Amino acid sequence: MRFISTRGLAPAIGFREAVLSGLAPDGGLYVPAVWPQISGADGAAFRGKSFSQVAAEILAAFAEPELQEHELLDMAERAFGAFDTPEVAPLRQIGDEEWLLELFHGPTLAFKDIAMRMLAQLYDWALQRQSQGKTIIGATSGDTGGAAIHAFAGSARAEIFMLHPRGRISAVQRRMMTTIDAPNIVNIAVDGTFDDCQRLVKALFADRELNGRFDLGGVNSINWVRLAVQTVYYFTATAALGKRASFIVPTGNFGDVFAGYAASRMGLPVNKFGVAVNTNDIMRRVLRSGEYAPASATATSSPSMDIQVASNFERLLFEAFDRDGAALRREMENLERDGRMRLAEPMRRRLAEDFVAECADDEEVAAMIKSAYAAKAGLVDPHTAVGLVALEKFRAKGEIKGPAVCLATAHPAKFPEAVERASGVTPRLPSRYEDLMTRAERLLPATTDIAAIRSIIEQNSIFASKP
């Protein structure tokens, strides 16, 4: 399998390079050169198989001949052996035709664990032939950072510099990153928003001199292989359900919902994808009106979705442009110049064939947390509540009918203040985190100045020679 850039100017790469890559050299995002078709993608072939077995089969479609299915199975069993439930991503029915897909049973209690732990295994494989260690640079709106740090802590082949927006993630999210004491982990608290952090990461990848001294890599959802792993739970959920369904996906950066779309391009039957966003509703606006105009991000009770620049939307646009990299490149250049983009109406309607979108404000989210608990659906975190509010709105408008699976993206105990305010119940962390709030933290403060971030990397890298 080869992988190409959405902007059409970068050379195609293989799977090993895709594992280690962030942005393509032309500023685009890597996608498969062709969409592989999965035998029995309707779920029949996966019934009775473990999550690791399904993951190995799906990833082999992208990795062969560089990596074989039996090797991927060994990696998957190591990656997912640390989860609290053997199903890894179990389905739980909460209504006549509604299910929650619980993605929070990993080490850091969020859906990011699923892809990140597998990616760490793949990194070790991909770096075996390299003498220089990999310097991973990432931005997190809350959960990616913790998942990456737990997955890579102590690695002899990779170090992580993780940027997060200071004061804009929950204390539990922050401490799951900053209490890990490992020489290859550096946490950077940026005085800005997640979009600022993401912009800084993109600027670092575009810095040729820095790339000349460091072997930079990414684990954000700009990394294609991470999204490839996330396709797996769409297949396992459909297999467990035994029928075609719609998926409602709480999202900010559009990565998780694009993974679902990728699964559909690989043959998975899906009715609709419901894009669920909070007050930072850029994806709802663009899918409903065609206008993509990033604004300032607003802080909400669902901080992992406080995003106005949805990087993975570029991958969907690439498909909507019939994979015309030159046309998309012009559109992205216009966006960078003008600060906005307007999709032609035929293209917007084309996207609407697969996607519908709704938003939920904090008041609606709090009401949903309370009502879900009262209805014995259990406690849900604010991000999952955004998805459930959106599902109600989709149902009311007739935009989603029949079986619907809402992705439960985080454990409610990651957002204890918001959940307690809404429900009156304090969600408990698993026993392994009982002392989390008293553990020592390790982080470095920084401004949004690219030179300041670059200096932190140069001074704290365990791999690169100092200037």
Using CA atoms, how far apart are residues 462 and 101, in angstroms rounded to an integer? 39
Contact present, 222 and 258 (Cβ < 8 Å)? no
User: Distance (Å, rounded) from C-alpha 225 to C-alpha 119?
Assistant: 7
Q: How far apart are the first and last CA of the chain?
A: 38
Tell me the C-alpha distance between 64 and 67, whole Å. 5
In the sheet with 245-250, reading across from the earlier edge strand, the strands are 91-93, 98-102, 404-408, 245-250, 270-277, 355-359
Helix (H, G, I), strand (E, B) or coil at 177: helix
- In angstroms, rounded to a whole number, what is the distance separating the alpha carbons of residues 60 and 382? 35
Q: What residues contact residue 367 under an 8 Å CB cut-off, 6+ apart?
A: 422
Instruction: Identify the DSSP state of 52.
Output: H
User: Residue 242's CB: how many other CB atoms inside 10 A?
Assistant: 12
> Catalytic amino acids?
112
**65: which strand partners?**
none
How far is the C-alpha of 40 from the C-alpha of 25, rounded, in Å? 36
Cis peptide before 183 (omega within 30 of 0): no
